[in-house]
């Protein structure tokens, strides 16, 4: 055994010192070699593990160092952030401290916060500031913001909280409340709230008394709620002087409410006689109010404006009596110093009495006592411009005069008034003014004046209905030899002004071309019918040439345009009008060919053009049917959805 141990020791020493290569392997037993190999592998593993542990320890030391550095950086960053937050808090606190001492800055700050939609922040800021100062303006901003959002109940809660926090409401606070309630959809509830506030303002302990701005808002609320009797009673209780004295806005509100109630607030099943009765009552009440206006205006207690003049004028306009329409011209002369351009129908001293006599004759004896009125009419009070200023003419009064002259069928007076308003008073007419004047010209077949009017019209007012009314003037003026020429000028103006041609205007132009101006001349027994036929044929052919050019742009829109445009909703109607135009063009070609109204050398070209129109008509019919089917399908789906809902 000793010899064996000695041999193992030699082998181990030789293995550790790499001396095995100097000994003979064959002279060593296998068991000893296995043990030596195992010991060698164990030593190698220990060496590698020691190396890996040392490397991991060094890596861990590096990671620990990085973490320490990052943590130090993070801590220093938190210190800087905390310092910044502390500075920001100090700045904000200092800012709020400055707001607490300055109501003006606070109100401006609250307004900016509300514009951003931060109502809660603004409310808390106002509550905090109201502990030390009176910030009524800031509370007003809160109430106004809630009213603008339609939150009437919340606005009144803020109003009550404002008073509980010892912030006394001012006159503008009540103005905001009344104005917001007058715009509310729930007029009955809003009126009840406003009247409760109004009654509290009338108490002796109230520091704010109602003024005319508040009264106008209350009158408007009565009108919106349909309480006409209460409105008139409140109107009669207003003083003639002071802060609650009625002004032009007050009378305009009442007059407009009377007109709206007589026209739009009609009970169901009301007979025509009762409707006329309501209109007569409205006219009489309007005259009573206007009598008060004239008295105050004459004494210099109030001034009048165009809105007030137009309010009483609209009441006279919806009357069925011509004398009321004629009195509108007297009204304009009295309030704007524009002389009448039309003689009066009868003496003005009878106008007021006649309206009341008709009303009394159809009313009960109990109602007649309420309709008694004095003989004061629109002309009873002379105009003294040195005492009171005149109303300035404008678009509203021009529209009123033109509508009255349209009912009176006075074309020459309309032209004079148009020149006075537009040239002497520099009134810039709007679209409605142009339409009213064109309707008067259409009634009197003034095609030439219609063309001149459209030429002076601004581009922004060019629309299809303008050209339809103008072309109707030419059709009514068919006996004039220049009517067809004027219609061509209107067509040129339409082609230059509109992006897409108006098809009904083109249809009326084509119809006018087939009407002979000489056919109405009774002295034309000596006129050669052949010459008349040739002239009519040349006129029709000229119109067909114009229609052919316009059809090119129409076809371009129909077959190559944007089908998803805003015109898509009216596409069925548009296609129907185009199809009607093509059909009339085909009939016009057939007529001039059958009656030989053009030279024979043009027959081949006209037949070819008619064939093209027939082909276009078939395409339009197919497209129109498809659009009609899709339109019906959409309507059916909409009905189904509505039924499901």
pLDDT of residue 111: 92
DSSP string across 189-226: HHHHHHHHHHHHHTSTT-SS---HHHHHHHHHHHHHHT
- Sequence-distant (6+) residues with CB within 8 A of 459 are 497
Last residue of a domain, one of 41, 67, 94: 94
CB atoms within 10 A of CB 188: 12
What is the total count of domains within the chain?
2
Q: Give 14: exposed, middle or buried? Use CB within 10 Å, 0-12, 13-18, 19+.
A: middle
Question: Region 162-190: what's the mean pLDDT?
Answer: 91
Integer Cα distance of 445 and 442 in angstroms: 5
65 assigned to some structural domain:
yes
Q: For the packed helices 171-182 and 187-201, what is the interaxial angle rounded to 10 degrees? A: 160
pLDDT average, residue stretch 581-588: 92
Let me know if 443 is exposed, middle or buried by CB neighbors in 10 A (0-12, 13-18, 19+). Answer: middle
Residue 14 has pLDDT above 60, yes or no: no
- Whether residue 13 lies inside any domain: the answer is yes
Nearest C-alpha neighbor of 315 from the set 267, 398, 406, 252 = 252
Question: Can you give the pLDDT at residue 263?
Answer: 83
The confidence score (pLDDT) of residue 62 equals 56
Residue with the bigger pLDDT between 296 and 571: it is 296
**Residue 123 belongs to a domain:** no
CA atoms of 324 and 359, how far apart (whole Å): 14
How many alpha carbons fall within 13 Å on the CB side of residue 165? 22
- Non-local (6+) Cβ contacts of 547 within 8 A are 506, 509, 510, 581, 585
Contacts of 167 (CB under 8 A, 6+ apart): 130, 134, 135, 136, 139
**Distance from chain centroid for Cα 97:** 44
Q: What is the mean pLDDT of residues 103-107?
A: 89
Residue 47 tokens read as 């060496």
What confidence tier does 452 reach under pLDDT thresholds 50, 70, 90? very high
Q: Which of 48, 79, 94 is the last residue of a domain?
A: 94
Q: What is the pLDDT of residue 363?
A: 47
pTM above 0.85, yes or no: no
Say if residue 22's pLDDT is above 50.
no
Q: Quick check: 69 and 45 in contact, CB under 8 A? A: no
* Phi, psi of 624, deg, nearest 5: -65, -40
Instruction: Let me know: does 438 contact 450? Beta carbons within 8 Å.
Output: yes
Low-confidence winner among 17-21, 39-43, 245-249, 377-381 (lowest mean pLDDT): 17-21
Contact 163, 175 (CB under 8 A): no
Residue 477 burial (C-beta neighbours within 10 Å; 0-12, 13-18, 19+): buried
CB atoms within 10 A of CB 13: 10
Task: Lowest mean pLDDT of 167-181, 419-433, 441-455, 514-528, name the range.
Answer: 514-528
Range of the domain at 558: 499-518+530-644
Residue 212 tokens read as 């005319």
pLDDT for residue 623? 78
Domain boundary among 64, 94, 124: 94
Residue 450 contacts residue 441 (beta carbons within 8 Å): yes
Does the pLDDT of residue 631 top 50, yes or no?
Answer: yes
Q: Is residue 562 part of a domain?
A: yes
Q: Is the pLDDT of residue 1 over 60?
A: no
Among 263, 404, 389, 261, smallest CA distance to 331 is for 404
Query: Does residue 149 fall inside a structural domain?
Result: no
pLDDT at 97: 63
pLDDT band at 426 (very low <50, low <70, confident <90, very high): very high
Residue 632 binned pLDDT confidence (cut-offs 50, 70, 90):
low
Asked whether residue 510 carries a pLDDT value surpassing 70, the answer given is: yes
- The residue with greater pLDDT, 235 or 99, is 235
- Give residues with Cβ within 8 angstroms of 282, minimum separation 6: 258, 259, 261, 262, 315
CA distance 296 to 554: 61
Tokens of 511: 């119809």
Distances (CA, A) of 628 to 556, 572, 576, 579, 642: 21, 6, 10, 14, 21
Q: How confident is the model at residue 142 (pLDDT cuts 50, 70, 90)?
A: very high
φ and ψ at residue 101, rounded to 5 degrees? -100, -5
> pLDDT, tens digit, for every residue of 522-581?
444 434 555 577 888 889 999 999 998 888 888 877 777 554 444 445 777 888 888 899
Specify the higher pLDDT residue, 17 or 213. Answer: 213
Whether 440 maps to a domain, the answer reads no
Does any domain span residue 32? Answer: yes
Q: What's the pLDDT band for 211 if we cut at 50, 70, 90? A: very high
pLDDT of residue 241: 86
The rounded mean pLDDT for the chain is 79
pLDDT value at 444 more than 90: yes
Q: What is the pLDDT of residue 470?
A: 95
Could you tell me if residue 551 is inside a domain? yes
Q: Which CA distances in Å does 640 have to 140, 504, 630, 633, 643?
A: 48, 34, 15, 11, 5
């Amino acid at each position: 055994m000793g010899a064996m141990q000695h041999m193992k020791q030699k082998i181990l020493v030789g293995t550790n010192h790499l001396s095995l290569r100097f000994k003979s392997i064959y002279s060593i037993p296998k068991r000893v070699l296995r043990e030596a190999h195992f010991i060698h592998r164990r030593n190698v593993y220990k060496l590698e593990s020691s190396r890996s542990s040392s490397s991991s320890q060094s890596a861990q030391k590096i990671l620990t160092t990085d973490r320490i550095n990052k943590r130090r950086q993070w801590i220093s960053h938190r210190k800087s952030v905390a310092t910044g937050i502390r500075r920001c808090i100090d700045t904000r606190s200092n800012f709020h401290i400055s707001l607490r001492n300055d109501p003006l800055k606070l109100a401006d700050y609250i307004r900016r916060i509300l514009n951003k939609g931060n109502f809660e922040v603004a409310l808390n800021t106002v509550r905090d500031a109201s502990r030390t100062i009176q910030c009524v303006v800031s509370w007003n901003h809160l109430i106004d913001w809630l009213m603008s959002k339609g939150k009437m109940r919340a606005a009144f809660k803020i109003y009550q909280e404002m008073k509980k926090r010892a912030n006394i409401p001012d006159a503008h606070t009540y103005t905001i409340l009344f104005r917001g309630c007058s715009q509310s959809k729930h007029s009955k509830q809003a009126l009840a709230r406003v009247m409760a506030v109004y009654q509290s303002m009338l108490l002796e302990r109230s520091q704010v008394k109602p003024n005319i701005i508040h009264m106008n808002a209350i009158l408007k609320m009565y009108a919106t709620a349909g309480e006409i009797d209460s409105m008139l009673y409140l109107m009669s209780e207003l003083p003639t002087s002071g802060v609650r004295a009625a002004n032009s806005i007050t009378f305009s509100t009442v007059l407009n409410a009377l007109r709206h109630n007589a026209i739009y607030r009609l009970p169901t099943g009301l007979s025509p006689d009762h409707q006329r009765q309501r209109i007569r009552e409205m006219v009489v009440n309007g005259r009573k109010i206007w009598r008060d206006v004239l008295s105050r205006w004459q004494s210099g207690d109030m001034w009048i404006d165009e809105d007030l003049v137009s309010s009483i004028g609209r009441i006279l306009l919806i009357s069925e009596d011509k004398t009321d329409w004629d009195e509108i011209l007297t009204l304009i002369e009295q309030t704007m110093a524009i002389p009448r351009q039309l003689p009066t129908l009868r003496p003005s001293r009878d106008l007021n009495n006649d309206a009341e006599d008709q009303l009394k004759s159809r009313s009960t004896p109990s109602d007649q006592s309420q309709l008694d009125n004095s003989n004061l009419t629109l002309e009873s009070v002379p105009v003294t411009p040195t005492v009171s200023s005149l109303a300035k003419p404008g678009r509203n009064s021009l529209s009123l005069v033109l509508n009255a002259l349209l009912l009176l069928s006075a074309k020459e007076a309309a032209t004079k008034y148009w020149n006075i308003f537009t040239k002497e008073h520099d009134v810039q007419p709007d679209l409605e003014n142009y339409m009213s004047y064109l309707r008067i010209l259409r009634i009197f077949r003034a095609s030439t004046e219609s063309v001149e009017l459209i030429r002076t019209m601004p581009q922004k007012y060019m629309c299809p209905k303008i050209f339809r009314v103008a072309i109707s003037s030419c059709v009514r003026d068919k006996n004039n030899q220049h009517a067809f020429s004027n219609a061509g000028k209107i067509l040129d103006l339409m082609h230059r002004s509109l992006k897409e041609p108006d098809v009904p205007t083109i249809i009326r132009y084509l119809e006018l071309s087939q009407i002979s101006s000489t056919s109405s001349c009774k002295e034309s027994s000596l006129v050669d019918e052949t010459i008349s036929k040739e002239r009519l044929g040349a006129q029709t052919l000229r119109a067909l040439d114009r229609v052919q050019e316009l059809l090119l742009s129409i076809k371009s829109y129909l077959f190559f345009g944007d089908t998803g445009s805003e015109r898509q909703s009216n596409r069925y109607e548009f296609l129907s009008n185009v199809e009607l135009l093509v059909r009339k063009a085909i009939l016009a070609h057939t007529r001039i060919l059958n009656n030989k109204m053009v030279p024979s050398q043009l027959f081949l070209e006209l037949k070819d053009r008619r064939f093209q129109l027939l082909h276009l008509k078939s395409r339009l019919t197919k497209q129109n049917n498809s659009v009609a089917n899709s339109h019906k399908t959409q309507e059916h789906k909409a009905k189904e959805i509505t039924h499901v809902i």
